[in-house]
């Protein structure tokens, strides 16, 4: 098996595999939240920023650019003033967002079970 054959389908355990980059974008601190937010609806930049608590404009812009470059998010700019830009998921992005949301949902519902382990120093 040649290297290119090995990487046609990704191999995350190999340091050199490009799938590592995709993983990095999708599981980045804000990438996860962007995908989940956009799963429900399309958003404008500032709207998305308000929906996701705590993102800086800088990081939101960067995250959206990553996801756009990976073909998960579609950016549509209307040339008006004030600027109007819409972000929505591509079909590929919808599939990705589903998986990410499953993970996020699990964390949200199981937070109590996880948090039990934090009480170590108390008691």
Partner DNA sequence: ACAGGCTGCTTACCAATCGTAAGTACGCAC
Partner DNA sequence: GTGCGTACTTACGATTGGTAAGCAGCCTGT
Residues forming contacts to its own copies in the complex (CB under 8 A) are 7-16, 18-19, 22-24, 26-29, 32-33, 36-37, 51-54, 69-72, 92, 95-96, 99-100, 102-104, 106-118, 120
* Burial status of residue 96 (CB atoms within 10 A of its CB: 0-12, 13-18, 19 or more): buried
15 versus 81: smaller Cβ distance to its own copies:
15
- State how far the Cα of 111 lies from the Cα of 79, in Å rounded to an integer: 44
- Partner whose binding site includes residue 58, from its own copies, DNA, none (CB under 5 to 8 Å by kind): DNA
At closest approach, how far in Å is the CB of 78 from its own copies?
22
Q: DSSP characters for 49-113? A: HHHSTT--HHHHHHHHHHHHHTTSEEEEEE--SS-EEEEEE-HHHHHHHHHHHHHHHHHHHHHHH
Residue 47, interface with DNA (CB under 7 A)? yes
Residue 13, interface with DNA (CB under 7 A)? no
Site of tokens 């120093």: 121
Positions touching DNA (CB under 7 A) are 28-30, 44-47, 54, 56-59, 61-62, 64-65, 75, 77, 81-85
């Amino acid at each position: 098996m040649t290297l290119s054959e090995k990487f046609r389908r990704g191999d995350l355990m190999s340091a050199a595999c490009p799938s590592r980059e995709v993983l990095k974008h999708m599981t980045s601190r804000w990438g996860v939240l962007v995908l989940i937010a956009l799963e429900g609806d399309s958003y404008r930049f500032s709207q998305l920023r308000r929906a996701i608590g705590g993102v800086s404009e800088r990081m939101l812009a960067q995250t959206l650019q990553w996801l756009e470059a990976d073909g998960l998010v579609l950016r549509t700019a209307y040339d008006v003033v004030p600027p109007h830009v819409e972000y929505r998921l591509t079909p590929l992005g919808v599939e990705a967002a589903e998986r990410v949301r499953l993970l996020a949902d699990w964390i949200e519902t199981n937070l109590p079970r996880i948090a039990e382990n934090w009480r170590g120093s108390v008691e």
